[in-house]
Structure 1
Amino acid sequence: MRKIYKMIAFFSIAMLMSFASKDCSILKNNSFTYRTGGEDVLVVFEESKHAEYHNDNEFYIKSDIEWISDCEYYLTVTETTLPNFPFEMGAKLHIIINKVKGEKVYYTSSLGGKSWEGRLTMVKE
């Protein structure tokens, strides 16, 4: 009976540890997609640059990345050709990675007192 309790305790601790830790290194120097308005948007992360390509690469948003930690960063918008882009040049978005599950990255972005959640899916090359 004691073996069963030890096994349950071991698996419980292992499960808690897997939820507590997240490896956000998947973001750096990688490409992802997300869907908005029925279209896929390509997102490219480099060490200190970030770009989003909309409408089959017709439009883009470019930003500088300031890493706060492995799972938290700021994006400062530097350039865009996207029509009706809602932010001004120099806008600084705060992003926190909530969870990394396989090739999916779940995050919360905030700017100007508003926040929203999203999901990125890694592009398989």
Structure 2
Amino acid sequence: MKVVVRLFLFLCLFFALSSFSIKQDCTVLKNNSFTYKLGKDKVLVVFNEDKHTEYHEEGKYIIQSDIKWISECEYYLIINEATLPNFPFKLGSKLHVKITGKRGKKIYYKSTLGGNTWEGRMTLK
């Protein structure tokens, strides 16, 4: 009987704990700078409260977007300007980004645009 009671308590505790979602702290995104690798180049990414700018080839080219925050860890980027040659997206395109994890200075994310989804990471500068 003790075994059944212990098993029952364990299962109750397991289901109670698994129903809680651990909320990520994504406040580091706002008003900060990050880098990510594109090929062998590093891209600088600057987040302001409602603006996002990427600097490619040491600032020679840029991509500027407005940020529409959905939650602390999820947002849309609406592309306003792109000087990067052969940039594949049109101005006004809406990129959905969701932060999937954070480990040390690394931020992991999943992006979706036009039916294409990819994962990436950026590092706090």
Q: TM-score band, normalised by the shorter chain?
A: 0.7 to 0.9
Output the amino acid matched with 2:113. Answer: L
Match for residue 74 of structure 2 among 66, 72, 75 = 72
Partners of 2:65 and 2:23 lie apart in 1 by 28
What's the TM-score, normalizing by structure 2?
A: 0.83
> How far off its partner does 1:71 sit?
0.3
Q: CA deviation digits over 1:96-124, x for unaligned, max 9?
A: 0001112110000001111000001000x
Q: Which runs of 5+ in 2 are unaligned?
A: 1-9
How many corresponding residue pairs?
Answer: 113
> How far off its partner does 1:21 sit?
2.7
Output the amino acid matched with 2:56. Answer: H
TM alignment of 1:4-83, pairs within 5 A: 20-83=22-85
What's the TM-score, normalizing by structure 1?
A: 0.83
Partners of 1:102 and 1:20 lie apart in 2 by 17
Partners of 2:83 and 2:113 lie apart in 1 by 20
Structure 1: 4+ residue segments shifted above 2 A: none
Partner residue of 1:85?
87
Q: CA deviation digits over 1:38-76, x for unaligned, max 9?
A: 000000000000000000110000000000000000000
> How far off its partner does 1:84 sit?
0.3
Structure with max Cα Rg? 2
State the SS of the aligned residue for 1:109. strand
Q: Which runs of 5+ in 1 are unaligned?
A: 1-8
